[in-house]
Amino acid sequence: MNISDVPMASVTDLPADRLSLLDVREHDEWAAGHAPEALHIPLRDLPAQLDELAKLPDDQPLYVICRTGGRSAQAAAWLNANGWDAVNVAGGMKSWHTEGRPLVSDREGAAPEVL
């Protein structure tokens, strides 16, 4: 599947509950700020960690997110080519934060931010 053929959804179109969200950013980006319910697998590790996706419900699309949408589009294209129902989140975590969706940090004492 070509990246231009990947299904896309805006943050405002995402379900408010029961959201299967895969964050493919790097570890430092994740630690700075991420969606509380997201599963984190960096893009480069995705092929080796597909078994981690079994933790997510399989009766709904898998929304894939990164900082602005480029890496997540690559991941969604790869996932769709390998049998998943993946959707790229347009605008990534930057849009997530702008839309006021919840954001948490793994850095002790630091406010969550999108790197």
Catalytic residues: 66
Residue 13: alpha-carbon gap to chain centroid: 14
Residue 42: CB partners within 8 Å, gap ≥ 6? 24, 25, 26, 27, 30
Determine how β-strand 8-9 pairs with β-strand 86-89: parallel
Work out the number of other CB atoms within 10 angstroms of the CB of residue 74. 18
